[in-house]
Structure 1
């Protein structure tokens, strides 16, 4: 196997680039939604949480299909984005990022929301007593106490994005250097009976996924141990 092949390196670089941008965008979005969910105790909160969990239930091809319909240049939303922002999301890297953010949303939001919910109310009250406002309390008191869960959400989102297939296939297709990520490349190489290159992609994703899981379990163990202590 030749891991220095230009096509292989280009595809893997694009795959990691997609996962990095997705995780970077998901971090502030995930924290904001986690805070919102933690503060909502009504039907609105239930509906919002259901929408966030939908990517875990829906087949990826379903989500990818509707994103393709909405972002298509023949759709009003696609026309609006193209005319006012010169942004074409269908069959583009930008579209892959948007789709990946939506698809990996629960992997970022859920651990952060659960961690916020598990914090004792006395922590927040003590901060208020010391004269800190809501924003400073959140940034300097609450966030440091859930950093393991935030890191867990980042690692999980990154790993999940790397393994996407159905969503990226529907919204991005297979444009070399722009939308062709590793999962798509594996499918194409198997179709052409090029098992050597397919194995090269698959082995790389296998190693990355295994290392990611080791990091996730280590973080989960550390989080549990910290709470026991």
Structure 2
């Protein structure tokens, strides 16, 4: 196995690790956040929902630059990194996790919030009659009912992170073995006129995207039949 192949396999492992960690954080943070947004009637909730949605319209490089400043030596990330003797969270795995979470957060929060809104108050009222606390009602009633959307959100969050490039490039700097994700190699191959390798890698990503969309469709069909 040549050095380039080894780098690609390392980058693939790094990308899968990044997507897995990001997806777990997205669900742990996104589901309670979506629940609060769905239940809150304040203007603050809509302001926060708008902030969460910004990555949907912001260019990835602009989002990456903003996060880079926050993670840099003069931002909160630099302060946090100082606790273990570092100057910055930029150009680290932790930094690209933060960027990936912020980039994919609206893809997770919005569908789960929609599921909670559609659910209405009746299931929660039933939970209250069983003397369930608000926390119990969330975990035993609301979250299971929103299960299909949570599953779809997890798939979307994972897939989005696999394909993320602009944000990761700005925050991580494409350091081989540390922050360079698989999608970066497509650009590398094109820039060096290695069209065959670029075609194979891009083709693999197209197949992955097809599998993700098919998975989401099957999830809808499966849960649609169960609820029918």
Question: So what's the TM-score if we normalise by structure 2?
Answer: 0.92
Q: Larger deviation: 77-86 or 11-20?
A: 77-86
CA offsets 1:56-99 (integer angstroms, 9 cap, x no match): 011111100111122222x1434312322445321111111000
Q: Which residue of 2 aligns with 1:176?
A: 176
The count of residues paired between Structure 1 and Structure 2 equals 225
Tell me the SS of whatever aligns to 1:44: helix
Where do 4+ consecutive residues of structure 1 move more than 3 Å?
85-88, 221-227
Q: Distance in 2 between matches of 1:120 and 1:69?
A: 40
Task: Measure the CA separation in 2 of the matches of 1:221 and 1:174.
Answer: 39
Correspondence for 2:110: 110
8 Å CA contact 1:25–1:101 kept in 2: the answer is yes
Superposition deviation, residue 214 in structure 1: 0.6
Aligned to 2:72: 72
CA–CA separation in structure 2 for the residues paired with 1:76 and 1:213: 38
Contact 1:22 1:158 in 2 (8 A): yes
Asked if the contact 1:8–1:201 (Cα under 8 Å) also holds between the matched residues in 2, the reply is no
Question: 2:83 aligns to what?
Answer: 84
Cα offset, 1:5, TM superposition:
2.8
Structure 2: how far apart are the matches of 1:16 and 1:198?
A: 20
TM-score (norm 1): 0.91
Shift of 1:139: 1.0
Q: In 2, distance between residues paired with 1:82 and 1:120?
A: 43
Flag structure 1 segments of 5+ consecutive residues without an equivalent. Answer: none
Between 1:40-49 and 1:127-136, the stretch displaced more is 127-136
Counterpart contact for 1:27–1:108, Cα < 8 Å: yes
What do residues 20-68 of structure 1 show as CA deviations (whole Å, max 9, x unaligned)? 1100111110011101101211211110110010000111111001111
Deviation of 1:8 (Å):
2.0
Q: 2:85 & 2:41 partners in 1: Cα distance? A: 40
Distance 1:124 1:81 in 2: 39
List runs of 5+ in structure 2 lacking aligned partners.
none
Q: Which position in structure 2 is the counterpart of 1:149?
A: 149
State the match for 1:132 in structure 2.
132
Aligned to 2:56: 56
1:135-191 per-position Cα deviation (integer Å, ceiling 9, x unaligned): 222111221111111000000000111111111111111111111101111111111
Distance in 1, Cα, partners of 2:43 & 2:161: 30
Relative to structure 1, the CA distance from residue 119 to residue 194 in structure 2 (aligned partners, 3 Å threshold; closer, same or farther) is same
Asked if the contact 1:149–1:223 (Cα under 8 Å) also holds between the matched residues in 2, the reply is no
Equivalent-residue separation in structure 2 for 1:201 and 1:14 (angstroms): 16
Query: Counterpart in 1 of 2:166?
Result: 166
Q: Say which SS state the counterpart of residue 97 (structure 1) adopts.
A: helix
Asked if the contact 2:78/2:89 (under 8 Å) is kept, the reply is no
Q: Give the distance between the partners of 1:120 and 1:222, measured in 2 at CA.
A: 22
Give 1:226 shift.
5.1
